[in-house]
Amino acid sequence: MNCAEIRLLLHAHADSELDAANSLELERHLKTCAACAAENKSLHALRATLRKGDLNFRAPDSLKKDLRQFVGDLSGEKNPRKEFDPQWQWLWKFLAFGATAFALLAVFLRPLGISEHNQMLDQIVASHVRSLQVEHLTDVVSSDQHTVKPWFDGKLDFAPDVKDFAAQGFPLVGGRLDYLDGRAVAALVYRHNKHFINVFVWPAADALKPATEMRRGYAIINCATNGLHYCLVSDMNLTDLGELAGCLGR
C-alpha cells in the first residue's frame, strides 16, 4: 500500500470498516510513516470534535405530537375499538394466563446459547460486509473448484468441500481464509446475478437442517451435512439463498 491508498483507508479504519488483513498492514505503515501517522491523528481529532460537538437537531415536540395524532386518526377512524363481549372474557383470561406462563418459561428456560448465537450472527454479517469492501472478497480467485479446494490445504485443519454451481445459477467466484468465533474458517464466495454470497465452512459434529434467519437486512442460512457446517450470508432473499443451501447440502 502506498501513502495515497493509506490516506483513504485511514477513514475505513477509523470507522471500523476495514478488514483485519488491511488493518494490520495499515497499522504497520503508520509505525514507519510520520506523515500518514499525523494524518491519522488529525482524523481522530476531527472525529472526536464532531462527536463532542452536540450537533444533532432534535425534532420539535409539536412535530412529534402531530405525528402521533396522525397515527391516532388513522387507526381510530377505520377501526373503532370494540368492547369485549363478556362471554369471551374467560377466553381472554385464559390467553393472558398462557402468555404470562410462556413469557416466564422463555425467561427462565431461555437457552444460554441465545446471546452467543446472536454474537455469532453479528460476526457473520460483519465478516460478509467487510469482505465486500476494499477488495478483500477473495484470496484465491477462481471459478475452478480444483484450484480453490487445494488452496485451502495447509491453511485449515479440515478440507472444505468446494463445488461450482454455475449450472444452478451460482458460479463459484473464489475462496478466502476468514476467522469466526476464534477459529479459522473457509469462506467460499459465490455469485448470483449481481449478489455475492459468502459461505463460511467449518467442521460440525452433527447434521443440521437448513435454518434461516435475517440479520440487519441480510439473509443467513445455517446447515450442516457430511461433517461440515455451512453458513450462507447474502443480501439476496431467503428463497434464492435457500437454493444454494440446497445445492451445498446435496
Partner 1 sequence: MNATEAEQFERIVLPHVDAAYNLARWLAGNDHDAEDIVQEACVRAFRFIGGHRGGEGRAWLLTIVRNTAFSWLKKNRPHAVVSIDDDELAQIEDQTVTANGVFSADKNSLRAALEALPLEFREAIVLRELEGLSYKEIADVAEVPVGTVMSRLARARRQLQNHFAQKEGES
Q: Which residues would be at the binding site for partner 1 (CB under 8 A)? A: 3-4, 7-8, 10-12, 15, 17, 35, 38-39, 41-47, 49-51, 53-60, 63-64, 66-68, 70-71, 74-75, 78-79, 129, 132-133, 214, 216-217
**Residue written as grid cell 386518526:** 73
Which one, of 199, 102, 105, lies nearest residue 148 by Cα?
A: 199
Our CB check for partner 1 shows the closer of 34 and 109 to be 34
Our CB check for partner 1 shows the closer of 80 and 111 to be 80
- Residues with Cβ within 8 Å of 219's Cβ and at least 6 positions away in sequence, in order, are 212, 213, 232, 233, 234, 235, 236, 237, 238, 241
| Count of CB atoms situated within 10 Å of the CB of 240 | 16
Our CB check for partner 1 shows the closer of 131 and 222 to be 131
104 — alpha (psi -120 to 50), left (phi > 0) or beta?
alpha
Our CB check for partner 1 shows the closer of 31 and 78 to be 78
Question: Residue 76: is it exposed, middle or buried by C-beta count within 10 angstroms (0-12/13-18/19+)?
Answer: exposed
Min separation Cβ 215 and partner 1, Å? 8
Our CB check for partner 1 shows the closer of 121 and 248 to be 121
Query: What is the C-alpha to C-alpha distance for residues 26 and 20, in angstroms, rounded to an integer?
Result: 10
Please count the residues of the chain: 250
